[in-house]
Structures are given as C-alpha cells and as structure tokens.
Amino acid sequence: MGKGKAVLAMMLLAATAYGGTASIVSSFRSPCAPGWVCGIDYHGGYLYHGDGHNYIYRTTTTGSVLNSLNVGNASWGIDRTEFEFWTCNRGSWIFRLSTMGSPIRSFEVSTSGYGITYGEGLWYSTAGMLYKLTVNNSLIKSFRLPTTSHRGVCWDAPYLWTASGNGRMIYLITQDGYVLDSFATAGTPYGVTWDGSYLWYTVTDINWVYQVDVNFTAVEPASLGNVKAIYR
C-alpha cells in the first residue's frame, strides 16, 4: 500500500515510451512454507505474508517473525488497511477480517482470484483480469491484464502494481490497464506491495522476499534523449 509520487511533467500516454529499473535493496527468506509463498502487504512499518493455507505472518522488514494469525484458508491475496484485512483465496471468495483475523463478512465472486488490494475500491486480480469492486461486491469495472498469469496486485495511488507469474515480470499500470512500466523479477513473483518508498514482492518458487528500489522514466520515442517525465 502507499501513495505514489507525482509525475513531474505530463504527456500523452499514447505518444510515450517507458523504461524502468528495479534495484534490489534487501531480501530474506519468507516465513511461509516452501511452495506456499503467496500474498504480501506492508502496513505500519511491518510486512504481512499470506501462506495460501491458514496463516498470515507479521514480520519486521528484515524478516523476523513477530506473530501469526489463523485466518482459515483466506490468505492467498492479502491487504492490511488501518482497520481490517481484505483477503482472497482460489475458491472464489473475498474475505473482510478484523486486524486480529476474525471474520467480519465474506462474499463469493465469479472466478478464482490471487491478489487483492484496497484503493478507492477493491481491486481483485485473477490470472488474466483485474476487477474493481465496491466493498459490497458491486462491479465497478474490469479489464485484461498484460499476461494470463497474474497473481498479486497492490495500490500505489493513482496506479497499481501487478505481478505476472509465468512471465516473471512486475507491471505498473493505470486504473484502466495501460502499462506504464515493467521489470523482470528474480524468480516467479506472487505477492507485491508498495511501502511509500520501495516495492516488495514475494517469489514463490524460491521462497524469498525482495525489497526493490524502482526508477521510472518516460521519454518520447522520436527523441529518446529528451526525458519528459520522471516517476519516483
């Protein structure tokens, strides 16, 4: 979660080429069981990790486990807000939980999901689609994602980050699905979260968590040396 930094100079998206880099700042082994490294979220100085089974783990940003919550098969995608957790599982359910993991409500959606985030509504990612819902499960809009293997999603106002598993890529997209930036990951990514300064993502095939520094520039194709906007 977190707020994105403003673009310093605006331009028409259709006339723009984008390029980004992601430098690894730190990394540690996930507290989740091997092969079950799923969603991740940053909130209040801590990281929250979903294990795809029953637990959400709270750790420091260096990976020390502080405590865990038994949330009963509701930890594929996770998002921790000030007052609650929003989670989802591959059984096509979205859950609203207290900060202690107790159920508040749940509702069934039309297709299995992998990632969820709150940002001016609920964003729910399936393998190839992203849905924006109200908190009462009314559809606001939906669009196709860049690949058919997406997992985690996170809010970085006014944009979104989403992780593509088979493509081993993370994308920065607009709220209408336009790709602004992308970078290759160190393995197969699942969860992704923004802490206000850095991006974090989980790698499910090697059970690892990465913190990365993302730099993004936008340039006109006709004049590659003319930088028109800077993000971050």
- Write the CATH number for 132: 2.120.10.30
Domain assignment of residue 142, given as a range: 13-231
Do the domain assignments include residue 2? no
CA distance 19 to 6: 17
Residue 63 lies in a domain: yes
Q: Answer for the pair 52, 34: CB distance below 8 angstroms, yes or no.
A: no
117 found inside a domain = yes
Q: Does residue 220 lie in a domain region?
A: yes
Tokens (6 digits) for 169: 């890529």
- CA–CA dist 179, 46 (Å, integer): 29
Which pLDDT score, from 0 to 100, does residue 22 have?
A: 86
- Paired residues of 70 in beta bridges: 55
State how many domains the chain has: 1
Give the integer Cα–Cα distance in Å for 141 and 129: 11
Is the residue at 7 inside a domain? no
Q: With respect to residue 215, please indicate whether it lies within any of the assigned structural domains.
A: yes
Predicted pLDDT of residue 159: 97
pLDDT computed for residue 231 by the predictor = 41
pLDDT at res. 19: 54
Q: Does residue 138 lie in a domain region?
A: yes
Read off the pTM. Answer: 0.85
The reply to whether 8 falls in a domain is: no
Average pLDDT across each block of 10 residues of the chain; the chain has 232 residues. List them in order.
36 41 93 94 98 94 97 89 93 93 92 92 94 95 94 96 92 96 93 97 95 72 36 44
The two three-digit tokens of residue 124, written as one number? 């729910």
DSSP 111: S
Question: Residue 138: which residues within 8 A CB-CB, separation 6 or more?
Answer: none
